[in-house]
A = this chain, B = another copy of it.
């Protein structure tokens, strides 16, 4: 019997062919170590151009948790914490990596995975209004992800409001873009990469889930990258000797809009799944405009399908139903979408 097709996540396949081609092409070139090579330099330029932000500073790291932990640690003072939605990846699914650097995650409830400007205002007001203020953790940064854990995205006006609240209170706004392409290429998205660069103080462009074997591109947008960044990266255990492992991948992804084209593919595939789900009467758990679709499915059906198609179990819905996640990606094959739709 065939292996079941998988919609478990957007990191089930390897790297885009164009990336593999360039690994082969450059294999025997002798390059500078620790990110001082020409491909890494080129990737940084292309990213700054794409962001419309020539003054940006770019650092390449390896994975999402590493990046979240690093950015939060190097930008916060010891007595500061980071505001996040309760469902935020840093709060829920990073094994305490942020806390391991000494910082508290200040979790706010949020809605559909998103926080809002009022959440920021409330946190700051609670801190400022507390007579025992010095005994509490000072809000020092705002973390959000785009898209969120539930596949939802912020509108431009929502993000503008959050950004304004952050700037009013001197809090850097940090956007986790592990799936950034899938957010920006959503048809409901009214934000561009350039908008994001204007509104955030630091964000990252996720590679691992969007065509790369590994790698995230951190963009400090306002000359706010800490000094001695290489030492900080090294100390975090995040410095690659062969820095071009990530640099070359991003150089490829940001050539001829590859990053955006393959992100759009994932969105196209997700939309076909979503339409089919709605068409067949499935109930969506949340209305996601990105590559992750959350649908309520009968436990019996999940079991029956399991030798032909696999999803991620998200959470229990009730005794007979479960919320499952169907994730598409840059690598999703159309034929598998068709198989899935038939099986549903």
Contact = CB atoms under 8 A, between A and B. Distances in A.
Interface of A: 3, 5-6, 8-9, 11-15, 17, 20, 23-24, 26-34, 62-67, 69-70, 73-74, 77-79, 81, 92-97, 99-105, 131-132, 134-138, 208-209, 213-214, 228, 230-232, 234-242, 244-245, 312-313, 331, 333
A64 B132 CA distance: 16
A66 B238 contact: yes
Given A30-B12, A95-B136, A213-B242, A237 B237 contact: yes
Nearest to A7: B30
Given A14-B23, A95-B79, A237 B236 contact: yes
B230 A64 contact: no
Contacts of A28: 13-14, 331, 333
Contacts of A331: 28
A18 to B, nearest CB: 11
Give the number of times this chain occurs in the complex, counting copies.
Answer: 4
B65 A97 contact: no
11 contacts: A28-B331, A28-B333, A62-B240, A79-B96, A99-B103, A100-B102, A100-B235, A134-B230, A135-B234, A208-B241, A214-B242
Contacts of A11: 33, 241-242
Given A66-B237, A93-B136, A95-B235, 7 more contacts: A5-B30, A28-B331, A95-B234, A99-B102, A102-B102, A138-B231, A213-B242
Q: Which of A13, A93, A97, A208 has the most CB of B within 10 A?
A: A97
A280 to B, nearest CB: 24
Given A231-B135, A234-B94, A234-B134, A14 B27 contact: yes
A191 B87 CA distance: 39
A152 B67 CA distance: 36
Contacts of A135: 93-95, 231, 234
Q: Which of A96, A240, A241 has the most CB of B within 10 A?
A: A96
